[in-house]
Structure 1
């Protein structure tokens, strides 16, 4: 299978590219900074592309059997359009080249719900602040991305992970339709779930959650390492 990976140079994208190559697939890793991409392989094409440019996206998708989007941008106060513009161009290119299967990373924060084990601080203070203030422009654009996918006739799956963190290896993660009552997703598990979705038609036209229950961080650790960038 030939897979085009957008956002390939991000933390999840790099894991996904490595897993896809290890599984025997051909990969087109799409990144704006190809010289910085750390993986080399005979079945890997590192493509210097930009999701904001339709011609670039067309070239990246030509010949693909499936498309996986792990696009990611940091929080910011200014309007964000990377997710919606990117998926708009990806959808158009997929139609042009006859590619049907796509899975795209969104976030559980686009439709925040309380978690039974999270407690007052997370459910009533932290989550509303992240979803509605600190990450508002980002999650607004993710919602636009989701709407574009749902309106398309592609075999799409929207993947909503919880709080992302690092683990060294894939766990016995769970992928379920809709909301999962669990807050955390290891990036390595998110990558594995995306690859599974490319390889099969399971969860087509569905929104899914990816859940990791092994070695979850504490809330303080998650804020320290992910939100504040301290390791």
Structure 2
């Protein structure tokens, strides 16, 4: 698992270990990773380091990528270079199953793929909110799109998972999978983690792009804008 020390990654690690899986958590600073256990291997690697990535992937049955970086003006290459090293390592070691997280905002930011419908949402979101966010995060979404193209070009058994706006809860709730244009504004991180574990074990959407969104107990738009975009305040549950 790449991006294991993210909030989603820590949820996913706990869920995978609880289900009896052996997990390799790939992180840059192992000493900062808060989880441990007999079936957990914490591996130090930077995704820019091709050799370290290849060592991390060796012996795995599947790979999950939750790579991400904050919005910034500088060009972003972490996702595209990281996924290149990951997919190359998978090919070298015969690992076929890949699940990678991108974003539902790519349905607004990028030209639609063949057969993909326009993102359906209320006017204020489609015309005001999404253009604002995709402008603010342009360099991130550009690299995320490059990452998707790299994954799609491989011969791996891949799934690209596009969550909606992320927020924190501490209980897995009712969530839904759907095509990229499915309506649904929010995805809790713990639901996203659960969906990734489902995908990597059940192989439900191989060589497909799917959205995942939470349908119960969702926050207000104001909460997500303040706490996730503007970083004002914090969620009651981390």
The two structures have a TM-score, normalised by structure 1, of: 0.94
Aligned pair partner of 1:130 in 119, 130, 133 = 133
Could you tell me how far apart the structure 2 residues matched to 1:157 and 1:56 are? 24
Could you tell me how far apart the structure 1 residues matched to 2:29 and 2:106 are? 28
3-state SS, counterpart of residue 169 of structure 2: coil
Could you tell me how far apart the structure 2 residues matched to 1:48 and 1:19 are? 21
3-state SS, counterpart of residue 172 of structure 2: coil
Partner of 1:84: 80
Structure 1 position 126, deviation (Å): 1.8
Could you tell me how far apart the structure 2 residues matched to 1:166 and 1:52 are? 29
Partner of 1:151: 153
Segments of 4+ in structure 1 off by > 6 A? Answer: none
Partner of 1:161: 163
Structure 1 position 211, deviation (Å): 1.3
Partner of 1:110: 106
Could you tell me how far apart the structure 1 residues matched to 2:86 and 2:168 are? 28
Structure 1 position 19, deviation (Å): 0.6
Could you tell me how far apart the structure 2 residues matched to 1:45 and 1:51 are? 17
Partner of 1:100: 96
Aligned pair partner of 2:216 in 214, 217, 223 = 214
Could you tell me how far apart the structure 2 residues matched to 1:56 and 1:134 are? 32
Could you tell me how far apart the structure 1 residues matched to 2:39 and 2:169 are? 26
Could you tell me how far apart the structure 2 residues matched to 1:33 and 1:214 are? 35
Partner of 1:64: 60
Residue 18 (1) aligns with residue 18 (2): no
Partner of 2:111: none
Structure 1 position 179, deviation (Å): 2.0
Could you tell me how far apart the structure 2 residues matched to 1:217 and 1:202 are? 28
Structure 1 position 177, deviation (Å): 3.1
Structure 1 position 119, deviation (Å): 4.1
Aligned pair partner of 2:36 in 17, 37, 40 = 40
Q: Deviations over 1:94-116 (max 9, x none)?
A: 00100000000000111225543
Contact conserved, 1:177 with 1:203, CA < 8 A, in 2?
Answer: no
The two structures have a TM-score, normalised by structure 2, of: 0.91
Could you tell me how far apart the structure 2 residues matched to 1:83 and 1:30 are? 15
3-state SS, counterpart of residue 30 of structure 1: strand
Could you tell me how far apart the structure 1 residues matched to 2:120 and 2:186 are? 11
Could you tell me how far apart the structure 2 residues matched to 1:155 and 1:142 are? 19
Unmatched 5+ residue regions in structure 2?
109-117
Could you tell me how far apart the structure 2 residues matched to 1:188 and 1:100 are? 25
